[in-house]
Amino acid sequence: MQTRKLMAGVLVAGLLAAACGSGDEDAGGGGGGDGDAVTLVVESWRADDKAVWEDTIIPAFEESHEGIELEFQPTAPTEYNAALENRLDGGEAGDIIACRPFDISLELFEAGHLEAVDDLEGMDAFDDVARSGWVTDDGATTYCVPMASVIHGFYYNKDVFDELGLEPPTTTEDLHTVLDAIAADGAATPIAQGTVDQWDIAEVDYTGIGPNYWKGEEGRQALIDGSAQFTDPEYVAPFEELATWGQYMPDGYEALSYDDAKVLFTNGDGAIFPGGSWEITGFERDAGFELGVFAPPLPTDGDPCYISDHVDIGMGMNADTEHADEARTFLEWVASEEFAQLYSNELPGFFSLREGAVEVDNALADDFVSWRDDCESTIRLPAQKLNRGDPAMWDELYAVSSEVVNGTLTPADAAQRLQEGLDSWYTPSE
């Protein structure tokens, strides 16, 4: 019994010594040194990127920033907005906030949940288009570091094109020559797309080909400041083009979903898929043929070109973080060229918004981003300011774009409906 009591006493004394004294010993030896490290929790809706963050991005940052550790904590995309707002209101949110573009993050900033980031080192590398998703209406304050965009274009089946001796089209006339040739051959559906989901017809098709008609930012800003209307020819013309596409889609396209269309394309039954750079990884995994991409065709040969290079994700700082200095250090790294190269290569199809060339290893991603060399970038037309009222511009655009392709609404009537909806609540000066 005495021995057991003695052993118990020694054990307790040892545990007390460990609890009281070993902290200094551990901090000073063994190469650990993480007793003083600050851990920044990163909130994001990009659960699909968790492995990339944990395997590549976090190690790259921590290697060059001793004393700061990162923990990536994603929330399901459909739950992110509400969950994040609740955590911010309750003082339980992470230190770093992945920022959705436009009004959602603007509301967080105006509620005092996000800090301004204009004075961070590296922010001068982001132009007005890059900042547009995370800037106050007066343009005075940026509240998230622009991180990545996605680019709209057209995927095509190179085997089909090669068999028919076709080249990727550069003009609308070329596109119709290609579509007619594929249709005449009959082996594949010219355009693998349906209209039942609506969003893709509006976001990918109308705002994908549209910038070449309304001259990108010039036309987008003109709608915002009220100097242009949807009924002007440059906004009606993309609808007129879309009105011709239904004949090139598969039978029953009115009931075909976006996901079904992807399967149709990757199975080799569709020749062209209007899409975005976010599909690169999935298409390369699923398609049993060589893929190619081409930019939205020009209305007329020689016209200046514009691409929808839509801002998709930024990073901001929780205004209530207890580690503001470390959070700023991390965000300055997010604004760096090192991060731009790393992110663009680890997530093909999501491109840094930083000025300057980004070297991308993935061939399809490199094709997409190369369009920035010759074309001016813009973003999706209704994304900024024009979607705040009732009826919401996106809802209206989803509906009318699909109806135009289905042949149940004329291009002119679609434009008229959009303008009337906008006029019912929007005042350009606000």
| Strand-pair category, 376-378 with 306-317 | parallel
Q: If DSSP codes are grouped into helix, strand and coil, which group holds residue 5? A: helix
pLDDT for 18 equals 35
User: Rounded to whole angstroms, how far apart are CA atoms 248 and 271?
Assistant: 10
Tokens describing residue 18: 């460990």
Q: What's the rounded mean pLDDT across residues 149-178?
A: 98
Backbone angles phi, psi at 249, to 5 degrees: -90, 165
Q: What is the mean pLDDT of residues 251-260?
A: 97
| pLDDT greater than 50 at residue 333 | yes
pLDDT over threshold 60, residue 31:
no
Quick check: 1 and 9 in contact, CB under 8 A? Answer: no
Name the DSSP letter for residue 362: S
- Map tokens 């549209």 to a residue: 210
Mean pLDDT, rounded, for 226-253: 98
Q: Identify the bridge partners of residue 314 per DSSP, sorted by sequence position.
A: 99, 146
What pLDDT was estimated at residue 429? 66
| pLDDT (average), residues 166-184 | 98
Residue 254 confidence (pLDDT): 98
Could you tell me if 151 and 226 are in contact, meaning their C-beta atoms sit under 8 angstroms apart? Answer: no
What's the chain's average pLDDT? 91
**Tell me, what's the pLDDT at 35?**
61
H/E element, 30: none
**For residues 295-321, average pLDDT:** 96
For 199-229, what is each residue's pLDDT tens digit? 999 999 999 999 999 999 999 999 999 999 9
- What 3-state class would DSSP assign to 296? coil
**What number is the average pLDDT over the span 382-401?**
95
Nearest to 401 by CA among 211, 236, 170, 247: 236
- Taking the CA atoms of the chain, what radius of gyration do you get in angstroms? 26
Which of these, 275, 254, 262, 264, lies nearest to 195 by C-alpha position?
254
Contacts of 175 by beta carbon, 8 Å cutoff, 6+ apart: 169, 297
If you average pLDDT over residues 167-180, what whole number do you get? Answer: 98
The answer to whether 199 and 392 are in contact (CB under 8 A) is: no
Low-confidence winner among 111-120, 172-181, 376-385 (lowest mean pLDDT): 376-385
pLDDT for residue 15 is more than 50: no
Tens digits of per-residue pLDDT, 397-422?
Answer: 999 999 999 999 999 999 999 999 99
Length of the chain: 430
Q: What is the pLDDT of residue 359?
A: 85
Which tokens sit at 150? 């996605």
The tokens of 217 are what?
A: 């930012």
Do the Cβ atoms of 43 and 144 come closer than 8 Å? no
Q: Which residues pair with 155 in a beta bridge?
A: 273, 293
**Are the C-beta atoms of 231 and 415 separated by less than 8 Å?**
yes
Mean pLDDT of 56-81: 95
| CB-CB contact of 403 with 246 (8 Å) | no
Q: Which residues contact 206 (CB under 8 A, 6 or more apart)?
A: 238, 239, 242, 381, 397, 401
CA angle 317, 321, 324 (to 5 degrees): 70
DSSP 136-163: -TTS--B-SEEEEEEEEEEEEEHHHHHH
